[in-house]
Amino acid sequence: MPRKRPGRVRTRNTNRRAPLLLSTMAPQDFNVRPGETKSIACPDCRTWRRIMGDTVLKIREHVSDEQGATRTACPGSDQLVVVNIDIRRWQVEQDRLLRDAMPQDNRRAAQQFYKPLPAAAAPVARIKGEATLETTRQSYLAHRKGCIRCVGGQHCTDGGILGRRYVRALHEEPARREAREQLERKARRTERARTASSVRTAQWAKYGGLTVETSNNRCTPRLPETRSEFSGPQLPLAPYDEAAHDLRQAELGKQYAARTSA
Per-residue pLDDT tens digits for 144-167: 888 888 887 788 888 888 888 888
Same domain membership, residue 99 and residue 24:
yes
- Whole-model pTM: value is 0.37
Give 226-252 as a DSSP string.
Answer: ---TTS-SPPPSS-S-HHHHHHHHHHH
Q: What is the pLDDT of residue 211?
A: 66
**How many beta carbons lie within 10 A of that of residue 97, not counting itself?**
12
Q: What is the DSSP letter of 67?
A: T
| In-domain check, residue 177 | yes
Whether residues 190 and 132 fall in one domain: yes
pLDDT in tens, 45-96: 889 999 988 888 899 888 876 555 567 888 888 899 999 999 999 998 888 8
Please indicate, yes or no, if residue 253 is contained in any of the structural domains: no
226 falls within a domain: no
Instruction: Give the total number of structural domains in the chain.
Output: 2
- Residue count of the chain, please give it: 262
Quote the pLDDT of residue 155: 84
Cβ contact 81:19 at 8 Å: yes
- Greater pLDDT, 79 or 6: 79
Q: Highest mean pLDDT range out of 86-90, 197-201, 215-219, 230-234?
A: 86-90
25, 91: one domain: yes
| Same domain for 97 and 28 | yes
Residues in a beta bridge with 59: 51
Residue 257 in this model has a pLDDT that exceeds 60: yes
Single out the residue of 161, 113, 110 nearest to residue 136, CA to CA.
161
Residues 163 and 95 placed together within one structural domain of the fold: no
Confirm whether 211 is domain-assigned.
no
In this predicted model, what pLDDT tens digit does every residue of 186-214 receive, in sequence order?
999 999 998 888 888 887 777 666 666 67
106, 158, 162 from 127: Cα distances, Å: 43, 11, 11
* Any domain includes 236: no
> Residue 81 class from Cβ within 10 Å (0-12 exposed, 13-18 middle, 19+ buried)?
buried
Residue 260: inside a domain, yes or no? no
79 DSSP assignment: -
Higher pLDDT, 17 or 109: 17
Domain final position from 159, 175, 194: 194
Q: Is residue 203 part of a domain?
A: no
The angle, 0 to 180 degrees and rounded to 10, between the axes of the packed helices 157-207 and 133-146 is 150
Domain hosting 166: range is 127-194
Q: What does the alpha-carbon distance between residue 87 and residue 89 come to, in Å, rounded to a whole number? A: 6
SS3 140: helix
DSSP secondary structure of 168-231: HHHHHHHHHHHHHHHHHHHHHHHHHHHHHHHHHHHHHHHHSTHHHHHHHHT--PPPTT---TTS
Band of pLDDT at residue 106, cut at 50, 70 and 90: low
Burial class (CB in 10 A: 0-12, 13-18, 19+), 162: buried
Instruction: Render pLDDT for 11-57 as a digit per residue (tens, 0 to 9).
Output: 778 888 899 999 998 888 999 988 888 999 998 888 999 998 888 88
